[in-house]
Structure 1
Amino acid sequence: MGETAEFVARAAGSQFNSGRVELRRVPYVGDKQQICDIVEEARGFKAVIAYTIVIPELKEELLRLTETYKIPTVDILGPMVEAVAEVTGTEPKLEAGLLRKLDEQYFRKVEAIEFAVKYDDGKDPRGLDYADVVLVGVSRTSKTPVSMYLAHKRIKAANIPLVPEVAAPEELFDITSKKIFGLTISPQLLNEIRQERLKTLGLTANADYANLERILKELDYAERIMKRIGCPIIDVTNKAVEETASTILELYYKGERYV
């Protein structure tokens, strides 16, 4: 919240042409000793202390000291918090740094979304080492949508397609199996999904991609890779993306956190 007080102070200072207004910003004030140090420094100048402190004991200490030394103060956040409390009929949390925490969560989400896009569909296996979660499975097992859903939960997810003709990247066997999750599906449903996919692309549904025998071969290959890795295998048959992601999150948070 130090930025808030600084912005308001600069705006106020810009209204005065008779002299230069100097600003001294002290962020993350967390104890009474810091309050004492700030007030002691302010005593040496013609100072106004503008603050956004919400923790009651720190605010009380600041007001006690500034009253003792006759230093003007401006509570930038307090009146707004009190007005919102009155209108909503609820009590404020009075916790420091809540906005900063929200900002950090937002930027972690953006970073996770960018990560999911960059390392989607095996684009760059080097990203597996930096992922929180790695999804593996054959085509059309919801790897990409699940990755994006996890990203909105601030989880960096990469995904790797498993295709019999293409060797799985070596990086997949170098990372811990605890962050790898295999996705599988019933052959019949996958056959239907792939046929519909071909239709949307304007291709014939008889292509090898949607051939049941081919699908069985792919699923068998994928299962062998997953068993070699030793990762959990989640059946996504008739599961919504949210259900699959929730299962992964549950397993993820039960296990160790990875670096």
Structure 2
Amino acid sequence: MIRFIVVSDSTGETCEQIINASIAQFDVEEKVFERFSHIRDIVSLNKIFDNIKDIKNTLIFYSLVDENLIEAMKKNCDLIGITGVDVLTSSIIAIERLLGQEPKTRPGALRSLDAQYFKRVDAIDFAVRYDDGKDPRGVLSADITILGVSRTSKTPLSMYLANKNYKVANIPLVPETPVPKEIFEIPAKKIIGLTNSPEKLNLIRKSRLQALGLPPNSSYSNMDRILLELDHAHSVIKKIGCPIIDVSERAIEETADIIIRHLKKINNEI
């Protein structure tokens, strides 16, 4: 398990979004967040570190604009030997140099509640609500729907795209479960099928089972079962007539880039 401590002079949502987008690039089975919001004085900051007893598998992500708080954060991290990630300073410095302006140091200034912010929050909420086939009706209002067998990165890909403001629903394809009727009520171009190589799925699923403390040789990772699932998925995707992406040798951002380009293309056609 990885523990993320989030410290912010505002709500801390920006930090968590960055962490989740970064985690999507790795096989992280368990994570826990501890968020400390509206930290605007050194006393409050120091209290956070007074309660940190274990730094194993722990990272601190912070979004602070006050220079004194940033320095105090760095000193505290150094004292206990924990890695601290400053998510704002480098961006602020780059923009300052480009514009030749002094940055505003008002806490929370970078989190203005504009239309783009709300659009992203709505997209993330949508991805969580319609993840893993929880409610197939979500495909009717999704920007894109992702189909695929288990462990083809449907969820992390959905979250990555949500952070790009796209509303994504994802549906698992399982031979014993009927394909939701809603899938056939939307244009095929608004659906993406994901596939993976049997060998890669076998390794990923065995690793998943071991992480859960289960026998790695269960039916979930059995090669015959995997081949059955892939055959079923391919037949469904072929019936729908939607694009298919092989994710076996692609990082999340590569697959997302293909989908975003596809979305821009179909949106231009509307």
Q: Per the shorter chain, which TM-score range? A: 0.5 to 0.7
Q: Which amino acid aligns with 1:132?
A: D
Task: Please give the TM-score of this superposition, normalised by the length of structure 2.
Answer: 0.59
Mean Cα displacement is larger for which, 193-202 or 246-255? 246-255
Structural mapping, 1:176-191, within 5 Å: 176-191=187-202
Distance in 2 (alpha carbons) for counterparts of 1:144 and 1:258: 27
The reply to whether residue 159 of structure 1 matches residue 178 of structure 2 is no
The reply to whether residue 221 of structure 1 matches residue 236 of structure 2 is no
Larger C-alpha radius of gyration, 1 or 2? Answer: 1
Conserved? CA contact 1:178–1:256, under 8 Å = no
1:258 is displaced (CA, Å) by 9.3
Distance in 2 (alpha carbons) for counterparts of 1:133 and 1:193: 25
Conserved? CA contact 1:109–1:154, under 8 Å = yes
* Gap runs ≥5 in structure 2: 1-94, 102-109
Residue 143 of structure 1: aligned partner? 154
Q: 4+ residue stretches of structure 1 with deviation over 6 A?
A: none
Mean Cα displacement is larger for which, 102-111 or 179-188? 102-111
Distance in 2 (alpha carbons) for counterparts of 1:182 and 1:216: 16
Distance in 2 (alpha carbons) for counterparts of 1:130 and 1:225: 21
Find the residue that maps to 1:256 and give its secondary structure. helix
User: Number of matched residues?
Assistant: 169
Residue 61 of structure 1: aligned partner? none
Residue 45 of structure 1: aligned partner? none
Question: CA RMSD of the aligned region, Å?
Answer: 2.7
Out of 194, 198, 208, the residue aligned to residue 197 of structure 1 is: 208
Residue 51 of structure 2: aligned partner? none
Residues 107 and 190 (structure 1 numbering): CA distance in 2 closer, same or farther, change over 3 Å? Answer: same
Q: Which amino acid aligns with 1:144?
A: T
Going by fraction, where is strand more abundant, 1 or 2?
2
The reply to whether residue 230 of structure 1 matches residue 244 of structure 2 is no
Out of 206, 219, 226, the residue aligned to residue 208 of structure 1 is: 219
